[in-house]
Amino acid sequence: MVQFDPNVRIGSPSSLPYDPDQDAAEKRDIRKKYRALEKRTGEQLRPQDIMAAELVEQVEEADELFQKVKNPTEATLDSTVLRNVSSISAQKARAMKLGSAAFDIDDFVSKLAIFMGGRHELADDASELDDIGDCVMDWEKVGRRALAKSRRVPVMGFMLGPLSVEQKKRATVKRSKLEKSKEEERKPQEIREEDIQRSENETTKNVIKIREILEESGSVNLFRFVVNPNDFAQSVENIFYLSFLIRDGLCALEIDDSGEPIIFLCEAPSAQDRADGVTCHQIVMEFDMATWKRAIEVFEITESMIPQRPAAKTRLGGKWYG
């Protein structure tokens, strides 16, 4: 990969890991060579179509190209090439053969058990192998054979392998159903239709009422109209009801020369007006407790133009909620 060159002075253009001013012709040449490598190591390439020595050469060629990489685009191409080489190498490793036949793990374990005396080779008239658990395997025998091939000092350790351990079958446990006593069961309160006292549509009634008040007052400051100095909640409700008039085009909002927001009734645009390009706009208005108090102080509001409404109450199942 990237190697440090002591002859390159720190701060010179060739030592910079990232250089946005790298020569365009040099970058095109690097990309061209990377794409050629990527084509030779494509994902559609089969492992048997390429030799291990060729993979090593391609990695070395990619390392040499990476010395000139100064931008993310070329670095991405480098990672793609290495990913393809790694994928092909892994496939070749899985398909690797030892000698004339593939390495069989089960056959190796079986022969290792026979070597340690855990099994006996089949006789001519035998039909099956002896049970592994009938005799104890001689681990020291295979240990002595392994010591002849290793210079490492043997140490104490533990080994729990598959040679003398029977595979345990997982028993299925049937879970009994959770039975609940009927005494603990509780039913929700049943409410009949006649228990709910139906009331008229308060929203529609209040929207009509606010329109009548605005029609009598004419053009008026928005805050002087909607703010109730004695009730913050009803001030919010007044803005809510007023928004229906603005949505339907029955009320307009504009800023006068002094910077005050003024509202007044207007005629809703007809279908022809909308066809001519007339559109209605709405805004999202933030109105919190601080704004309510500030509006009362700035505009000196002492009385609400919209009469105070009584708190709404609902009768539900013999109880009143408000």
Please write the tens of the pLDDT for every residue from 23-69.
888 888 888 888 888 888 776 677 777 788 888 888 888 888 888 88
The string of DSSP codes covering 100-151 is TEE--HHHHHHHHHHHTTSS-PPPTT--SPPPGGGS---HHHHHHHHHTT--
pLDDT per residue as tens digits for the range 149-195 = 777 766 666 555 555 556 677 777 777 666 666 666 677 767 666 55
Q: Work out the pLDDT band at 12, boundaries 50, 70, 90.
A: very low
Q: How much of the chain exceeds pLDDT 70, in percent? A: 70
The CA distance from 52 to 115, in Å, is 35
* Across 233-254, average pLDDT: 88
- Nearest of 192, 197, 162, 141 to residue 322 by alpha carbon: 197
Is residue 252 classed as helix, strand or coil in its secondary structure? strand
Q: Highest mean pLDDT range out of 114-118, 128-132, 291-295?
A: 291-295
Across residues 93-113, what is the average pLDDT?
73
> 185 with 266: CB under 8 angstroms?
no
pLDDT(8) > 60:
no
Cα–Cα distance measured from residue 116 to residue 119, given in angstroms and rounded to the nearest whole number: 8
pLDDT at 10 over 60: no
How much is the pTM?
0.38
Distance in angstroms (rounded) separating the CA atoms of residues 68 and 64: 8
Q: Considering the chain, what is the average pLDDT of its residues?
A: 76
Provide the pLDDT confidence category of residue 1 given band limits of 50, 70 and 90: very low
